[in-house]
């Protein structure tokens, strides 16, 4: 297979617009998915609900948009095969998602049902938009430059996350939490505008054929299932990446239920990001040396410990280590930062080692679909376990049991990964 020349000319305008979108949609990821929405849901919109009912409602709210988009994935893949359709699809997703995000600023204090509906719609738009955005890489850079451009966009999103967290830590919410939703929507729209308004150089193309796409998708699925190593790896990946997603999206809600303030949680997210960058690099080096699946398994054992420790985390109070006192949630965040990026990066590189030559696009289409959309098992599992085991005498019990239940996903994922076999000689994955 020919290797694209890295000397192909840059499409600077398209490349800059594409990178800016990652900077843009990070506002939604940080404000709605990670930090402010969980705080508002717990303390304001659902404050009148029974603690177990509130915990269950929150986790179902997290799961539904992932479930919806998961079933829409084959249709999204068809649309993304056309440059004109992916451009229009991104515009609609951003406009809809930003509008629903801004509307959260005007919800009444008891509006948990409205918050749930707006979150489901906005999060579905966010995930759909990310699908079209990822597929537009082929429109914005020549083949020899796409890996570099993808890395630049990731860096832009990381910078945006740091800026948003610093702004929150410096007290941008001193006038109240609600306006931050309108600000996040405006950030998303403003920095996405260059890509959304990309001109008439997008080529017209015929409407994708649904029947042909479904046939090709089913053929690839049969091919994947026939390969035992690929099959068991993807089974394990579905399970443990759901656990990773569940920890990431419910950790803030757990902290709020336990009584931690938003300032401590913002700083905890900063810890995750600052620890995560060097840790991911270290995991990559160690995976090259000892094999990817060994390091993924180490990460999953660590995640199992995180889910259990988080479930029994004490209420706010300084944790003293080596004479230094700090909130215990910061240490939990540091542990998440140590393994989160490494598990995700090594999963991708190991899967790449399993892909037959010439089948990269088809195989990674499935991998991307699973990684982005199969994120509903964890929240649903947590909701069911928390509801079933909640102790009326302990308002934190439903959240604690739900967080502990994520450990089941890491155990099941670890067993499936071991069934898939080793990653081969060090250096291959």
Q: What is the arithmetic mean of pLDDT over 55-76?
A: 78
Residue 217 contacts residue 76 (beta carbons within 8 Å):
no
Burial (0-12, 13-18, 19+ Cβ within 10 Å), 137: middle
- Read off the DSSP letter of residue 90: H
**Residue 193: which domain range?**
12-201
7, part of any domain: no
CA 60 to CA 39: how far, in whole Å? 16
Residue 79 contacts residue 89 (beta carbons within 8 Å):
yes
**Residues 156 and 246 occupy one common structural domain:** no
Residue 417 contacts residue 297 (beta carbons within 8 Å):
yes
**Residues 234 and 301 occupy one common structural domain:** yes
In total, how many domains does the chain have? 2
- Biggest CA pair distance of the chain: 66
Rounding to the nearest 10 degrees, give the CA dihedral for residues 247, 252, 253, 259.
Answer: 130
Q: In terms of pLDDT, which residue wins out, 403 or 85?
A: 403
If you compute the radius of gyration of the chain from its CA atoms, what whole number of angstroms results?
21
**Residues 284 and 173 occupy one common structural domain:** no
**Residues 275 and 135 occupy one common structural domain:** no
CA 159 to CA 390: how far, in whole Å? 40
- Which residue, 237, 25, 60, 57, is CA-closest to 132? 25
pLDDT for position 3: 39
2, part of any domain: no
Q: In sequence order, which residues have a C-beta less than 8 Å from that of residue 271 and are 6 or more positions away?
A: 330, 333, 334, 337
Token pair for 152 = 């630049």
Q: What angle do CA 265, 267, 272 make, to 5 degrees?
A: 95
CA 18 to CA 12: how far, in whole Å? 10
CA 83 to CA 377: how far, in whole Å? 32
18, part of any domain: yes
Least confident of 91-105, 126-140, 200-214, 332-346: 200-214
User: 201, 233, 254 — which closes off a domain?
Assistant: 201
Token pair for 171 = 């007290």
**Residues 282 and 429 occupy one common structural domain:** yes
pLDDT for position 65: 87
86, part of any domain: yes
Q: In terms of pLDDT, which residue wins out, 428 or 80?
A: 80
CA 165 to CA 167: how far, in whole Å? 5
Whats the size of the chain, residue-wise?
A: 429
Cα distances (angstroms) measured from residue 296 to each of 185, 215, 253, 334 = 36, 33, 26, 18
**Residues 223 and 338 occupy one common structural domain:** yes
**Residues 296 and 177 occupy one common structural domain:** no
Burial (0-12, 13-18, 19+ Cβ within 10 Å), 326: middle
401, part of any domain: yes
Residue 237 contacts residue 413 (beta carbons within 8 Å):
yes
Q: In sequence order, which residues have a C-beta less than 8 Å from that of residue 201 and are 6 or more positions away?
A: none
**Residues 291 and 337 occupy one common structural domain:** yes
CA 100 to CA 105: how far, in whole Å? 9
pTM (predicted TM-score) = 0.71
pLDDT in tens, 415-429: 999 888 665 444 444
406, part of any domain: yes
pLDDT in tens, 271-315: 887 777 677 777 777 777 777 788 889 999 999 999 998 888 776
357, part of any domain: yes
CA 35 to CA 251: how far, in whole Å? 9
**Residues 196 and 291 occupy one common structural domain:** no
Q: What is the arithmetic mean of pLDDT over 131-145?
A: 68
Average per-residue pLDDT in the chain?
A: 78
Q: In sequence order, which residues have a C-beta less than 8 Å from that of residue 382 and are 6 or more positions away?
A: 59, 246, 250, 402, 403, 405, 406
pLDDT for position 72: 72
pLDDT of residue 387 exceeding 50, the answer is yes
CATH code, domain with 28: 1.20.1250.20
**Residues 242 and 176 occupy one common structural domain:** no
Least confident of 60-64, 165-169, 243-247, 388-392: 165-169
5, part of any domain: no
**Residues 73 and 167 occupy one common structural domain:** yes
User: 158, 185, 201 — which closes off a domain?
Assistant: 201
pLDDT for position 248: 80
**Residues 21 and 130 occupy one common structural domain:** yes
């Amino acid at each position: 297979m020919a290797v694209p020349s890295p000397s192909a000319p840059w499409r600077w305008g398209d490349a800059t617009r594409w990178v800016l979108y990652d900077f843009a949609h990070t506002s939604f990821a940080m404000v709605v998915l990670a930090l402010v929405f969980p705080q508002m849901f717990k303390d304001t919109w659902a404050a009148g609900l029974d603690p177990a009912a509130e915990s269950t409602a929150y986790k179902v709210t997290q799961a539904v948009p992932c479930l919806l988009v998961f079933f829409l994935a084959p249709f999204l893949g068809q649309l993304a095969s056309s440059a004109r359709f992916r451009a229009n699809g991104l515009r609609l997703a951003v406009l809809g998602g930003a509008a629903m995000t801004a509307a959260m600023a005007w919800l009444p204090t008891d509006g948990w049902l409205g918050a749930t509906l707006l979150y489901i719609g906005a999060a579905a738009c966010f995930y759909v938009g990310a699908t079209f955005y990822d597929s537009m890489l082929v429109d914005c850079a020549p083949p020899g430059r796409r890996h570099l451009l993808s890395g630049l966009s990731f860096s832009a999103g990381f910078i945006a996350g740091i800026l948003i967290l610093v702004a929150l830590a410096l007290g941008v919410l001193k006038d109240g939490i609600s306006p931050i939703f309108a600000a996040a929507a405006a950030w998303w729209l403003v920095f996405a505008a260059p890509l959304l308004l990309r001109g008439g150089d997008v080529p017209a193309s015929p409407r994708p054929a649904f029947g042909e796409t479904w046939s090709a998708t089913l053929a690839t699925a049969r091919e994947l299932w026939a390969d035992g190593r690929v099959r068991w790896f993807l089974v394990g990946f579905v399970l443990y990446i759901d656990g990773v997603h569940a920890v990431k999206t419910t950790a803030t809600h757990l902290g709020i239920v336990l009584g931690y303030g938003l300032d401590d949680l913002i700083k905890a997210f900063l810890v995750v990001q600052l620890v995560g960058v060097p840790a991911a690099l270290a995991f990559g080096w160690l995976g090259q040396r000892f094999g990817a699946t060994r390091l993924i398994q180490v990460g999953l054992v660590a995640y199992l410990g995180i889910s259990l420790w988080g479930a029994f985390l004490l209420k706010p109070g300084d944790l003293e280590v080596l004479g230094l006192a700090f909130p215990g949630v910061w240490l939990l965040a540091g542990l998440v930062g140590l393994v989160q990026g490494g598990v995700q990066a090594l999963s991708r590189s190991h899967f790449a080692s399993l892909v037959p030559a010439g089948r990269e696009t088809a195989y990674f289409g499935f991998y991307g679909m699973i990684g982005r959309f199969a994120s509903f098992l964890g929240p649903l599992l947590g909701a069911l376990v928390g509801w079933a085991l909640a102790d009326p005498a302990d308002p934190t019990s439903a959240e604690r049991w739900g967080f502990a239940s994520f450990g089941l996903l890491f155990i099941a994922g670890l067993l499936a990964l071991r069934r898939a076999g080793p990653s081969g000689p060090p250096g291959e994955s």
